[in-house]
């Protein structure tokens, strides 16, 4: 396991405030879920339908399984593979199983489409459980998410479904986890007038990442001034980030449950391309007030990709199948999923087994 860096308060002057905020955050996380009972193991679902199981206490990879050895419903990728063999993940702790979308063929047809299946596998033995067929051919894989109530939701184009024993059940109400933007008109907390559309009751914001309760959003003003903030769906309050470094949407990551958000300092590439470069500096913000809790400066972090924040508070990065536990937030969080429309890494989830 890689060496972890201890949290450093945002500044000496703000140390006491940071500690107070940290304690409030820690107790809130502990009250929601005890991580030792629900999140010891990290499961990483690879593009090629492989699963790595990592012990978050030791950092050791315990199991590496090719799901194609568990079922004949995943195609052979030899030759040429369009996209991934495993797309997205939805984990149901109560059922001890996870779901993923797999194509029925490794290549798309002349219309750039193919059929997909929803497969489920058991935890912890990773045995094949069930298959749910999806009608028609699709350009993009179905999207999967699991609500905090444990219900598996699937988006196919603009249509939403829930998985039932009888198959896919259409959903008439919109599923918040699949929304890519939100209207913040009527929300409180910050002055939203600079971001309001002229002559309209609309304050549009792009959703960067979200849980059932909160969403990290990006607001753009008429003069192209962008800010990042946290929108709480329950209280209808918006909290702007305070003191965060220069960054981009793909470098912002919610902790499980949405009580904190990790921001990677990133800058535009010198060549002017759309790619960004991380500096190795991280900052943890309290989503209740937007203020910094802790900062880290981690060598060689730019060579790794963010993977997740464990409910036990460990910040995890990866480079291929190499996993690096880079820091400890000092807080615990509920073991609930975080959903992003466009994933920045492989699908992951945490489990007790």
pLDDT tens by residue, 190-240: 899 989 998 889 999 999 999 888 999 999 887 777 899 999 999 999 999
164 burial level (CB within 10 Å; 0-12, 13-18, 19+): exposed
Give the model's pLDDT for residue 85.
95
- 313: tokens are 């508070």
Give the model's pLDDT for residue 272.
62
Give the model's pLDDT for residue 343.
75
First to last CA, the chain: 20
CA dihedral sign of residues 185, 191, 193, 195: negative
Residues of the chain with pLDDT under 70: 1-38, 148, 271-275
Of 281, 327, 209, 243, which is closest to residue 17 (Cα–Cα)? 243
Strand order in the sheet with 128-133: 87-92, 97-103, 116-122, 128-133
The pTM assigned to this predicted structure is 0.85
Task: From residue 19, give the alpha-carbon distance in Å to each of 16, 40, 203, 314, 338.
Answer: 5, 26, 34, 18, 25
Give the torsion through C-alpha atoms of 326, 123, 333, 230, to 10 deg. Answer: 90
Give the model's pLDDT for residue 8.
54
Give the model's pLDDT for residue 344.
76
Provide the residue ranges of all domains of the chain, joining segments of one domain with +: 63-176, 179-240
- Which DSSP string do the residues of 77-145 spell out, in sequence order? -SS---S-SSEEEEEEGGGTEEEEEEESSSS--TTS-B-EEEEEEETTT--EEEEEE--S-BSSPPEEE
Non-local (6+) Cβ contacts of 116 within 8 A are: 87, 101, 102, 103, 104, 134, 138, 141, 142
Distance in angstroms (rounded) separating the CA atoms of residues 319 and 345: 10
Give the model's pLDDT for residue 192.
92
């Amino acid at each position: 396991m890689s060496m972890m860096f201890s949290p450093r308060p945002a500044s000496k002057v703000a140390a006491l405030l940071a500690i107070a905020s940290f304690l409030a955050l820690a107790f809130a996380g502990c009250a929601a879920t005890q991580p030792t009972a629900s999140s010891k193991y990290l499961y990483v679902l690879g593009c090629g339908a492989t699963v790595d199981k990592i012990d978050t206490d030791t950092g050791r990879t315990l199991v590496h399984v090719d799901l194609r050895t568990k079922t004949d419903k995943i195609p052979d990728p030899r030759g040429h593979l369009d996209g991934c063999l495993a797309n997205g993940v939805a984990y149901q702790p109560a059922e001890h199983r996870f779901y993923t979308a797999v194509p029925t063929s490794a290549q798309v047809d002349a219309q750039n489409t193919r059929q997909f299946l929803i497969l489920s596998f058991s935890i912890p033995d990773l045995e094949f459980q069930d298959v749910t067929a999806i009608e028609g051919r699709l350009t993009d894989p179905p999207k999967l998410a699991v609500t905090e109530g444990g219900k598996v939701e699937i988006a196919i184009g603009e249509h939403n479904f829930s998985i039932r024993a009888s198959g896919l059940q259409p959903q008439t109400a919109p599923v918040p986890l699949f929304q890519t933007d939100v209207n913040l008109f009527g929300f409180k907390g910050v002055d939203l007038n600079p971001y309001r559309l002229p002559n309209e009751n609309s304050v549009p914001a792009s959703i960067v990442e979200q849980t059932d309760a909160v969403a990290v959003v990006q607001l753009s003003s008429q003069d192209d001034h962008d800010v990042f903030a946290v929108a709480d769906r329950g209280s209808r309050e918006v909290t702007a980030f305070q003191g965060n470094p220069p960054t981009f949407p793909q470098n912002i990551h919610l902790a499980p449950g949405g009580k904190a958000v990790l921001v990677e300092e990133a800058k535009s590439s010198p060549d002017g391309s759309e790619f960004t470069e991380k500096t190795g500096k991280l900052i943890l913000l309290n989503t209740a007030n937007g203020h910094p809790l802790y900062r880290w400066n981690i060598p060689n972090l730019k060579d790794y990709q963010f993977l997740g924040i464990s409910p036990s508070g460990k910040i995890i990065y990866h480079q291929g199948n190499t996993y690096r536990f880079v820091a400890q937030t000092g807080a615990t969080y509920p073991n609930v999923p975080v959903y992003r429309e466009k994933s920045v890494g492989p699908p992951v989830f945490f489990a007790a087994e």
